[in-house]
Amino acid sequence: MSESVIVYPGFFDPITLGHTNIVKRATGAFDRVVIALSKDSSKDPLFTFEERHALIDSIYATNRQVSVETFEGLLVHYLEKKSYRTVLRGLRTVSDFEYEFQMALANKTMNAEIETFFMMTDSKYSFISSTLIKEIARLGGSVREMVPGMVCESLERKFA
């Protein structure tokens, strides 16, 4: 049987414990999880593409089930180029659902072979978003319980 691969795309500015929890749980259901870091240049990130990439890389450096790739432009084009068919997205709120539902249907319309799997957030992390974390860190609050240690240190350096 061929190995099962699921692609977890996102902007990860920065990666949070909400994201890493989704990845960890997905490794229990799939042989391999590919974190696909978006290069989308229309957004104005706090962390550069290289910084976001380096953070994710070091978090998963020793995890052979998780790899990190990057893509630019449409997710569907990247999936087609790499012959991936399965996408993972996390859900926190009803507003997440509306957006994700729309994206999944749009992707399926562009390529009927692509399937999107949704994983419900762990209730512990349901309030966590990259945006909220940046705001708390900017105002000098502690995000130690919300992001991996390395991300916490990078945030502290950014706002020192």
Residues 110-129 contacting ligand ADP, CB under 6 A:
121, 125, 128-129
Strands annotated E in 72-120: 86-91, 115-120
Q: Which long-range contacts (CB under 8 A, 24 or more apart) does 148-152 make?
A: 148/15, 148/16, 148/17, 148/20, 148/55, 148/59, 150/55, 150/58, 150/59, 151/14, 151/15, 151/16, 151/55
Q: How far is the CB of 1 from ligand ADP (least distance, A)?
A: 28
Residue 19, interface with ligand ADP (CB under 6 A)?
A: yes
What Rg, from alpha-carbon coordinates, does the chain have?
16
Annotated catalytic, 19?
yes
Please report, for residues 22, 87, 148, 149, 158, the alpha-carbon distance to residue 153 in angstroms, rounded to integers and kept in the order given.
22, 30, 9, 6, 9
Which residue is catalytic, options 2, 42, 43, 81?
43
Active-site annotation holds for 85: no
Amino acid in position 64: R
Residue 79 contacts residue 85 (beta carbons within 8 Å): yes
Decide: residue 47, CB within 10 A, 0-12 exposed, 13-18 middle, 19+ buried.
Answer: buried
Amino acid residing at 36: A
- Which of residues 22 and 66 has its CB atom nearest to ligand ADP in the complex? 22
Sites for ligand ADP among residues 68-97 (CB under 6 A):
89-90, 92, 96
Binding pattern for the stretch 29-68 against ligand ADP, x by CB under 6 A and - elsewhere: ----------------------------------------
146 binds ligand ADP (CB under 6 A): no
Residue 98 Cβ vs ligand ADP, minimum distance, rounded to whole Å = 11
Q: Does 14 bind ligand ADP (CB under 6 A)?
A: no
- 130 catalytic, yes or no? yes
Catalytic residue among 52, 53, 130, 154: 130
Q: Is 134 a catalytic residue?
A: no
By annotation, the residues acting in catalysis are 19, 43, 92, 130
Q: Which residues bind to ligand ADP, rule: CB under 6 A?
A: 10-12, 16, 18-19, 22, 89-90, 92, 96, 121, 125, 128-130
